[in-house]
Structure 1
């Protein structure tokens, strides 16, 4: 288990942190997927931005969680990388 996972598991023991994390968990998962795709295809933020028709600054803000992305942008990412979006409600 990497250091982040250990830190996250420890932090989730705090009920206040756990509540806030759960409120933003979907956003974190989407960020993780986007970064994972970028790494998988060995792209810089600038290269990914060019493929998506946006700027490196936008990709940076998405990856650091300071901007919320919409379903249209998610679809653009999926289309660009020949992926499919699968939404499940549990």
Structure 2
């Protein structure tokens, strides 16, 4: 069974995705080794949260295991999986 939206797309109706510009290419690839660049100065709340509940994220390098949409990555930090935004990680 198809949805109303799917049927309308088959008939040629334009969707919002047809009007949006293409998303930029991701800067990182699966398998890249990355580190977190969140600091007290850049994002105090996130830094203190990670420091209290997930300190390994701030201390160890992680490996990108999945690209999730535009500029978001699933990163494995020594067994802990975290979704990180592109501006929060670096090589």
Q: Which has the larger radius of gyration?
A: 2
Q: Which has more helix, going by share of residues? A: 1
Q: Relative contact order (alpha carbons < 8 A, sep ≥ 6): 1 or 2 greater?
A: 2
TM-score range, shorter chain: under 0.3
Query: Could you tell me the TM-score, scaled by structure 2's length?
Result: 0.27
Query: Could you tell me the TM-score, scaled by structure 1's length?
Result: 0.27
Q: Which has more strand, going by share of residues? A: 2
